[in-house]
Chains A and B, each alone.
Chain A
Amino acid sequence: MIEIEGITKRYDTTTVVDDVSMVIEPRTIAVIVGTSGSGKTTLLRMINRLVEPTAGIIKLDGADNRSVPGYELRRSIGYAIQGHGLFPHRTVAQNIATVPVLLGWDKDRINARVDELMTLYQLDPQAYGPRYPHELSGGQQQRVGVARALAAEPNVLLMDEPFGALDPIIRTKAQEDLLAIQKRFGTTIILVTHDMEEAVHMGDKIAVMDAGKLVQYARPAEPAISSRPWSAPAKGRSGCCRSDGCVTRWRTAPPRAKPSAATPASATHWPSYCGRAGRRYR
């Protein structure tokens, strides 16, 4: 269980994350969505202390995440990022073995784990293990990136737009793979994305961030997410929404609108920004 309590991050005068509190149940997937600049990545990076919060506490299974040194904490938490971040000078097998090596596992155990993960991700260990990342396709690189994050059997996996660089077909496959693996290992996953469709598809719960604040945190099926007014995406950003199975991308940025007396909630709910006449989320 991950408990985020009143977490705030300020850089000089700008508040990037503003008093966010949420609880992530074990063995679930929590998806944080929001536009760029909404503070979702910063929130994620405060969980493994890549960013130190200005105020607030984050507890992992009841223990303050500052009770161990940052690097030790990070070894116990999986971390996968957009563009995979594989080490170009290390082979696929060496990349996957990164954290087990840092933890000082013995050689046999590392090799067994690497083989297991590569097989799980449909990469033949004999053929792909000795290759370098640039010799792999984008989809394969991404799979290696996730395999590397899972190598030391972490209970918690943080993912920052892990599928952002993939084309739609490979992305769907990668999402299915992740769901299957999450079920198998029971990993708690926190995934950051700006893709609403991905959020609805992957998340047990969806957290919506806007301007550093947690706007909503609910199950996708709950009315809160499906029909409540929604913060429109920031200017100039395209996003996508789904109405009855059809995916429509915004062609132009919709006007920023927040529910107020002048614009009642019903007038700003977000499917109405779709290029086509949108329907509400199911």
Chain B
Amino acid sequence: MNIRFDKLGVVIAAIAAYAAFVAPFATFRANRIVPGQARSILEALPTATGALLLVIIVVAALIALFKTPLVLRLVASVVALVALALLVGVAGTFLTPAGNTFARISPAFGFWILIFAFTLLLADVLTRLELSPWARVGVLVLAAAAVGLLLVSGSWNDLSILKEYFNRADSFWAEGSKHVTLALGSLFAAVVIGLPLGILCHRVEKLRAGVLNVLNIIQTIPSIALFGLLIAPLGWVAIHVPGAAALGIRGIGTAPAFVALFLYSLLPVVANTVVGLAGVPRAANDAARGMGMTDRQRLFGVEFPLAFPVILTGIRIVLVQNIGLATIAALIGGGGFGVFVFQGVGQTAMDLVLLGAVPTVALAFAAAIILDAVIEMTTTKRRAETA
């Protein structure tokens, strides 16, 4: 018999085996800041449940290891992920001594790696299934709904990250909305300014190198340094421009964070606009002119629609980058999920760091999937345009 291994499956199985049998599944701490003690799967769960989880992991890993039908791989990855998500909550309840409100149970290294391994398997299956853009967004919504359900059902309530959340529920949503506002607002401003700037760079060749170089240099300034550089000019504006202070413009706080994110966003937007417009087929442009389109008609009727997928790619880069970068805004009082990250670092409370980091990663991930789907939808209609 000819047994054939799946290349990616070998990696996934190896990771899963290491994570399930060697790495700790959960961490137990007597309170939120002391170093934790590792617990393996069998120690962290009731005996029967632990064994069941191990069996599920082993079977799923074996399905990943060999060349198996896609549907089977899909089922395996989903079952493994659901089991992990449910049972980590069970571990939280199981490990918490009765009546103890100081003890903290958090998912450990092994858990995260297992999640990573089976997410990799799931992503691989979804890629091979060649889902339509809408279906991919659908999968994202389903996954979000499943996580939401787990959160609402309370099965994770004994996990440390949620205990941190319950202590800060109000500020969590306030900082979250601040985070999203910062990321989306600066993106919006960058698009409003960057698109016309990109079009101008495309039309006026002399401008192009200069503008792109300046934006490139801005991109290389470390974010903290940029915040520092912005304090003086924004502080000056706040004092000397009437009404600026009333708008919330100050040397520190949201204003410099917003400006910094905006400046970082400009390069991808402008550069992709220039590249997209340059990629419009010459013949189409020539025909548009030859048939009597005015410059404006040509820009909006031909150049812009054809460059749109490339411009959207730039916007996708900016959005994902901004969601991540907005974390830093907390350093200068700009708010956002970064507040929890830096508080957590300051208190050596890793759970608090996670409370800031996990939503940020989830947001960036969702943004990437949604925009990728949009980009594909705008591109498929004219796939063979360059052929």
Chain A residues at the B interface, C-beta cutoff of 8 Å: 48, 50, 71-76, 79, 81-89, 98-99, 102, 132-135, 145, 148-149, 158
Contacts and interface: CB of A to CB of B under 8 A. Distances in A.
A109 B296 CA distance: 25
B292 A74 contact: yes
Contacts of B292: 71-76, 99, 102
B291 interface: yes
- Central interface residue in B291, B306, B384, by most chain A CB within 10 Å: B291
Interface in B257-307: 281, 283-294, 297, 302, 305-306
A83 B283 contact: yes
B306 A89 contact: yes
Given A83-B283, A88-B306, A102-B293, 13 more contacts: A48-B290, A50-B290, A74-B290, A76-B292, A81-B283, A81-B286, A82-B283, A85-B283, A85-B285, A85-B287, A87-B284, A102-B292, A132-B382
B284 A88 contact: yes
Contacts of B293: 71, 98, 102
- Central interface residue in A50, A86, A98, A99, by most chain B CB within 10 Å: A98
A89 B286 contact: no
A85 B297 contact: no
B285 to A, nearest CB: 8
Interface of B: 281, 283-294, 297, 302, 305-306, 381-385, 387
Contacts of A79: 287, 290-291
Contacts of A149: 291
Contacts of A134: 382-385, 387
A145 B287 CA distance: 9
B72 to A, nearest CB: 36
A194 B66 CA distance: 60
Contacts of B291: 74-75, 79, 98-99, 102, 148-149
Nearest to A148: B291
A84 B381 CA distance: 19
B91 to A, nearest CB: 53
Contacts of A75: 291-292
A88 B380 CA distance: 11
Contacts of B284: 85-88
Contacts of B306: 87-89
A158 B290 CA distance: 9
B383 A87 contact: no
A81 B285 CA distance: 11
A81 B385 contact: no
Given A79-B290, A134-B387, A84 B382 contact: no
15 contacts: A71-B294, A74-B291, A83-B283, A85-B283, A85-B285, A85-B286, A87-B306, A98-B293, A99-B291, A102-B297, A134-B384, A134-B387, A135-B384, A148-B291, A158-B290
B381 A85 contact: no
Contacts of B383: 134
A79 B283 CA distance: 12
Contacts of B289: 50, 74
Nearest to B283: A85
- Central interface residue in B281, B289, B302, by most chain A CB within 10 Å: B289
A86 B287 contact: yes
Nearest to B294: A71
Contacts of B285: 85
A158 B286 CA distance: 13
A82 B293 CA distance: 19
A232 B313 CA distance: 50
Given A71-B294, A74-B290, A148-B291, A85 B281 contact: yes
A83 to B, nearest CB: 5
A99 B382 CA distance: 22
Contacts of A50: 286, 289-290
A135 B289 CA distance: 24
Contacts of A85: 281, 283-288, 290
B287 to A, nearest CB: 3
A76 to B, nearest CB: 8
- Central interface residue in A71, A88, A135, by most chain B CB within 10 Å: A88
A82 B287 CA distance: 10
B376 to A, nearest CB: 15
Nearest to B290: A79
Contacts of B305: 89
A133 B386 CA distance: 11
B287 A81 contact: yes
A103 to B, nearest CB: 8
B290 A87 contact: no
B307 to A, nearest CB: 10
B37 to A, nearest CB: 61
B45 to A, nearest CB: 56
Contacts of A84: 283, 287
Contacts of B385: 88-89, 133-134
A134 B281 CA distance: 13
A138 to B, nearest CB: 10
- Central interface residue in A73, A79, A133, A158, by most chain B CB within 10 Å: A79
Contacts of B281: 85, 88
Contacts of A135: 384
B339 to A, nearest CB: 44
B384 to A, nearest CB: 3
A251 B89 CA distance: 79
Contacts of A71: 292-294
Contacts of B283: 81-85
- Central interface residue in A81, A99, A148, by most chain B CB within 10 Å: A81
Nearest to B287: A85
B386 to A, nearest CB: 8
Contact of B290 (A81, A82, A86, A132): A81
A134 B292 CA distance: 23
Ranked 6 nearest A-B pairs via Cβ: A85-B287, A75-B292, A134-B384, A88-B385, A79-B290, A74-B292
